[in-house]
Chain A
Amino acid sequence: DAKTTQPTSMDCAEGRAANLPCNHSTISGNEYVYWYRQIHSQGPQYIIHGLKNNETNEMASLIITEDRKSSTLILPHATLRDTAVYYCIVRRTGAGSYQLTFGKGTKLSVIP
């Protein structure tokens, strides 16, 4: 599975957009980019995923570069409740798609 690289930590002012980068330079053509987050004392929560097109849902937007070697998760208006560890994960399709390999993620602190 492709490995991901994320910054260890980031700060964001409340109300501002939080842009969380992720590098996945060894991603394969049949691998998706997934984002999960883990709020303190809770289990990880699915946020969004994409293959090569940009995606948006009620929680966030995902921008994937054309070469698919990196992506950015965007929280458009960060709130204090968005303080969490954010995990970028490359996930296979088809056989083996059950596998989620978590790294250490990015600890996002939203500051009042």
Chain B
Amino acid sequence: EAGVVQSPRYKIIEKKQPVAFWCNPISGHNTLYWYLQNLGQGPELLIRYENEEAVDDSQLPKDRFSAERLKGVDSTLKIQPAELGDSAVYLCASSINRGGTYNEQFFGPGTRLTVL
């Protein structure tokens, strides 16, 4: 069974440029998460999707960050415009939600973003 797939693995951009990250969760996983991980810190949740609905985006900086999961499967996280402080690893995870009970989260390898 394939794990969570993310692309690209690495991205280097100039500040003020847009950038997008893509995630394909494990087949059948209805819950998808995007996390931000700064150097030396644990991951922090940005947004959580239940199928195609964003049910928790309270930590997503909405002035420059957006996300979508149009068909309830794969998802895209976008930053526009990127700032120097956005340099970090962006992790995607997925899990199964059965009646409000969640199994373990499975993480992708992440996208390392460097903003110059």
Main secondary structure of the interface of B (DSSP, over half): strand
B1, CB-defined interface residue at 8 Å: no
Complex: A94 Cα to B23 Cα, angstroms: 26
Complex: A42 Cα to B93 Cα, angstroms: 12
Complex: A45 Cα to B104 Cα, angstroms: 10
Complex: A45 Cα to B41 Cα, angstroms: 16
Can you list, as one digit per residue, whether each of A51-79 has a CB less than 8 Å from chain B (1) or not (0)? 00000000000000000000000000000
Contact A43 B44 (CB under 8 A): no
Q: How far is the CB of A9 from chain B (nearest CB, A)?
A: 12
Contact A43 B108 (CB under 8 A): yes
* Inter-chain contacts of A42 with B (CB < 8 A): 109-110
Contact B42 A46 (CB under 8 A): no
Complex partner residue of B106 from A46, A87, A97, A105, CB under 8 angstroms: A46
Can you list, as one digit per residue, whether each of B98-114 has a CB less than 8 Å from chain A (1) or not (0)? 00111011111110000
* Inter-chain contacts of B91 with A (CB < 8 A): 43-44
B40, CB-defined interface residue at 8 Å: yes
Contact A45 B101 (CB under 8 A): no
User: Within B20-74, which residues are at the interface with A (CB < 8 Å)?
Assistant: 31, 33, 40-45, 48
B79, CB-defined interface residue at 8 Å: no
Complex: A41 Cα to B97 Cα, angstroms: 27
**What are the 6 A-B residue pairs with the smallest beta carbon separation, nearest first?**
A102-B42, A43-B107, A46-B104, A98-B102, A97-B102, A44-B107
